[in-house]
Amino acid sequence: MRPLISFVTRHPGIVLIVGILLAIPLVYMKQMTPLNYDIFTYMPEDVESVKGQQILHEHFQTSNTAYILLNTTNVPFVLRIQKDVGMINGVQRVSWINEVVDPSVPDSFVPQQLLGIYKKGSYSLLHLSFAEPSSSAKTLEAIKQIKLYLGKKATAFTGLPIFLYELRELMESEKLITFMAAACFSSLVIGISLGSWAIPIIFMLSIGIGVIYNLGTNYFMGEVSYITSAIASAIQLGVIQDFSIFLIHRYHEEKKIFPDPQKAMEAAITNTLPAILPSALTCMAGFLALILMKMRLGLDMGFVMAKGVFMGLVVTMTLLPAMLLVANRFVKTRGEKTGAFSWALW
């Protein structure tokens, strides 16, 4: 490892440029990695609910059924909604009572068991089935178009496909907020404890690149679970943060012995790696243990998180030292002279 450590400390600019260039295609790969929102695909095939779901889909096409509830029994209005929704790409069928009984027949002449499926009081219920599974891109796009079309026409638009669509929308909006909150809280704690305004920024940049490396390489897995995608970034940030703190503390201790920042950083990496490597391997082993779960979600989550710890370790030992050396005059901690940015003023 000494030649690599020596190269990192002697050529921090090159290491930083290479690290950023590698992150660029991985950002694109992250965006291209499909997210699986169908929890049934991760469950063992011998589970009764999964067997039933497969039968419903293969023989009855009802596993991906949705419902539109209208607060009206006006037949022309309901028929227009039925026709318009049925023409949306991805919708296989929209059924109502008109497919069983002529709409002109009074409700009093229709058997109540049949009528109750499609009408109840002042409400009408349309049944939708989609051409593809609930979690497919085509079905999710069809749901989006239906929502735009319905607007305030419908009282409710529900069913398993709608649940998966809204879950996807919620997770996409919330996971960035979660990561940003974790980053802000971590930066505040680090800034206060180390007495530096620059170190938290450098930490977040290096860890952010590590997160990009991890999420970008998920592309080679084909797809990942929406649960894994939602929590991977925040957990990786929390785990890798410790490695970064160990390195910066060791760096400032070595600067008391070696005035040259490059030599001090080389000594810091050399002495920090044996300390944090067992911790990293322990974390990876813990995450990889999830692979033994009968539910395949453990395989998905365990591999991604273990990979995230490895990526974080690599970034901590390469990109973070390069960033600290490039911004050396801004990374002084409490007790060191920092010019205008002294601890007292900070």
Question: CATH number for the domain including 65?
Answer: 3.30.70
* Domain termination residue (choose one: 123, 142, 164): 164
Q: How far apart are CA 39 and CA 153, in angstroms?
A: 31
In a domain, 61, yes or no: yes
Residues 81, 143, single domain; the answer is yes
Residues 202, 291, single domain; the answer is yes
Total number of domains in the chain:
2
Residues 150, 248, single domain; the answer is no
Cβ atoms 250, 268 nearer than 8 A: yes
Cβ atoms 283, 239 nearer than 8 A: yes
In a domain, 173, yes or no: no
- Which pLDDT score is estimated for 304? 94
Residues 105, 20, single domain; the answer is no
CATH number, position 326: 1.20.1640.10
Residues 249, 310, single domain; the answer is yes
In a domain, 282, yes or no: yes
In a domain, 180, yes or no: no
In a domain, 327, yes or no: yes
Cβ atoms 3, 318 nearer than 8 A: no
Tokens of 19: 């690290």
In a domain, 234, yes or no: yes
Residues 228, 300, single domain; the answer is yes
From residue 229, give the alpha-carbon distance in Å to each of 221, 297, 308, 328: 13, 12, 12, 34
Residues 122, 237, single domain; the answer is no
Residue 83 phi/psi, 5° resolution?
-70, -45
- Which pLDDT score is estimated for 134? 78
Instruction: Annotate 235-272 with b (16+ C-beta within 10 A) or e (fewer).
Output: bbbebbbebbbbbbebbbebbeeeeebbebbbbbbbeb
Residue with tokens 């979600």: 297
pTM of this structure: 0.76
In a domain, 135, yes or no: yes
- Which pLDDT score is estimated for 49? 67
Residues 62, 9, single domain; the answer is no
Residues 20, 56, single domain; the answer is no
Cβ atoms 65, 163 nearer than 8 A: no
Domain with 27 in it: 2-32+195-341
Residues 21, 46, single domain; the answer is no
- pLDDT truncated to tens, each residue of the chain (346 aa)? 788 888 988 998 999 999 999 999 999 999 899 888 777 777 777 777 666 766 666 656 555 788 999 998 888 999 999 999 999 998 988 988 888 888 777 877 788 878 888 888 888 999 998 888 777 778 888 999 999 998 888 888 988 888 888 888 887 777 778 878 888 888 888 778 777 777 888 888 998 999 999 999 999 988 888 888 888 888 888 888 888 888 988 988 898 898 888 999 999 999 999 889 998 999 999 999 999 888 888 889 999 999 999 999 999 999 999 998 888 766 665 555 443 333 332 3
* Domain termination residue (choose one: 164, 187, 209): 164
